[in-house]
Chains A and B, each alone.
Chain A
């Protein structure tokens, strides 16, 4: 049998194909957002037809701040998102801690399954089932008499928990729990060990979990549509109702504001976290030298 001749080792040349494809993919991700922003300054009501005479203009932004329906919906969404994020961080941290620190325990498989399934569950199923739950509750106990911000918040917490749990688990996976064990061995009560050791350790995960839960709630339209009652329309619900009728310039203005705000927030928190991690690493290095 003849063996193929041994070729000289190929020098790893600067591959151009991969970076090119990455650039194309990123362009695909950002061009629609860019066009949304550009056309928010367009004077024409026809959104995609550029009115070169009167543009750029800020008139759609001005109209936004006089639209009481949008302002009220935005305020409702903020309140729901804050309550949701806070509740989800508390419950999700408990779930994440249990799953990554408690080893084997009764009900572990069930808890693991219940925290993973909402990550992929189609929203339409979650929305329908939560509405039917609230209606069954109402028949049995009289609560909730009406569906409002409270039912939306409960529904949002139920799917946000999973995301927080995953983030907390990933963070805890980076350490093996020996610090907590040492604290317990030295006589610290579990609550003290949690406050002094676990909490500072997972603080970045709690922050990103809070922010992620906030945006999940802030963006949700499908589940909210099911569990909202009359008079409790969140901002995405108002936007959805508007855009089903077609493009409208004030939605472009609103989108521009929201996207810039979120982008700024994400960039800022990433930078903050990176700086914090770096100073932690420095402190650790110093303490080991000394």
Chain B
């Protein structure tokens, strides 16, 4: 019997290695190039345009580099867009408002999602997949339509007001639609699965013996929860928090459908600048500021996420 591959001249082995290495380069290279081209390079273009000024042309911004004579290029870098963002309170206000609303609704999401994740993790193992499925299922259905459903529930002659009125609990409708409260509801509702899943993934791995030990040592279940379960679940809390908070800051659909018209979240400001005012440079500057603000949370999320994937191996 002949052992293939293993027995071979040095040259053969070297050829095999070279072929494997080039195969690897293709496997790494294709997605890497794609993501560089369609994810990283676009940010650089946004950065470039944020230093430009608006023009009535197509595309509606001035080039940074212009040939003014033979072999003479003029580099025109404008900081005016960033000055505008700093000096006009509209932008700073909506940025702070977005961060506040996102942080608040993420906290609500955590308060609602934690008990749900814990309940699933402590349910009988045979029932967990079904319960988990029930939490994930809405995430598969259209986000837009689920936000839309809340218009029908929250508006002045909507389902909630109608029910309360028919029970004679209220006489005047409670104004809920187009308020900050409605944005809270929309964000908590849409992002709840993103909170429950990482929490469950963490809680499910806890060793039940720890809680038994706590109980044996006389700890009340509440105390055992605060001293054992809660500290161990902090990485899951962190992941869930970031997974909800980061996209919520830039949320556009929820505030457009449910939020107030006089207080805009930053996503709507960006969209208005771009589509209605056709001021691409200012819209780009807003995007860059938002990105810088979210950079630290994104990096922390990446660290955590990659560590989780490594740990599973």
Q: Which residues of A are at the interface with B, using a C-beta cutoff of 8 A?
A: 4, 6-7, 9-10, 12, 15, 17-19, 21-22, 25-26, 28-30, 32-33, 35-36, 39, 46-49, 91-92, 94-95, 97-100, 102, 105, 107, 110-126, 128-130, 132-133, 135-136, 139, 154-155, 157-158, 161, 165-166, 169-170, 173-174, 176, 184-187, 190-191, 212, 215, 218-219, 221-222, 236, 239-240, 243-244, 246-247, 251-252, 254-255, 258-259, 262-263, 266-267, 270, 274
Contacts and interface: CB of A to CB of B under 8 A. Distances in A.
A158 B35 contact: yes
Nearest to A17: B115
Contact of B116 (A25, A139, A251): A25
Contacts of A99: 309
Interface of B: 4-6, 19-20, 23-24, 27-28, 30-32, 34-43, 45-46, 49, 59, 112-113, 115-116, 118-120, 122-123, 129, 131, 133-138, 140-146, 148-153, 155, 157-159, 162, 189, 192, 215-216, 218, 220-221, 242-243, 246-247, 249-253, 256-257, 267, 270-271, 274, 280, 283-284, 287, 290-291, 294, 297-298, 301-302, 305-306, 309, 312-313
Nearest to A96: B31
Contacts of B153: 32, 35
A236 B143 CA distance: 10
Where chain B touches its partner, the secondary structure class is helix
Nearest to B270: A124
Contacts of A22: 115-116, 119-120, 131
A244 B257 contact: yes
B28 A105 contact: yes
A47 to B, nearest CB: 6
Contacts of A132: 42, 45-46, 49, 280, 284
B149 to A, nearest CB: 4
The listed residue with most B CB atoms (<10 A of its CB), out of A29, A154, A212, A246, is: A29
B145 A123 contact: no
Contacts of B256: 244
A18 B270 contact: no
Contact of B140 (A35, A36, A262): A262
A49 B155 CA distance: 12
B258 to A, nearest CB: 11
Given A94-B31, A98-B31, A133 B24 contact: no
B31 A30 contact: no
Given A136-B45, A185-B5, A117 B145 contact: no
Contacts of B247: 120-123
B180 to A, nearest CB: 19
A259 B142 contact: yes
Contact of B38 (A30, A97, A133, A176): A133
B46 A219 contact: no
B267 A122 contact: yes
A117 B243 CA distance: 11
Contacts of A244: 256-257
A166 B251 CA distance: 23
A240 B145 contact: no
Nearest to A25: B116
A32 B306 contact: no
Given A48-B158, A124-B252, A25 B192 contact: yes
B39 to A, nearest CB: 6
Nearest to A191: B23
A252 B145 CA distance: 8
Nearest to B25: A105
Contacts of B284: 128, 132
A133 B41 contact: yes
19 contacts: A26-B135, A36-B152, A48-B152, A98-B28, A102-B24, A107-B32, A114-B32, A122-B251, A122-B267, A129-B45, A130-B38, A132-B46, A139-B59, A154-B38, A158-B38, A161-B35, A173-B313, A244-B256, A262-B142
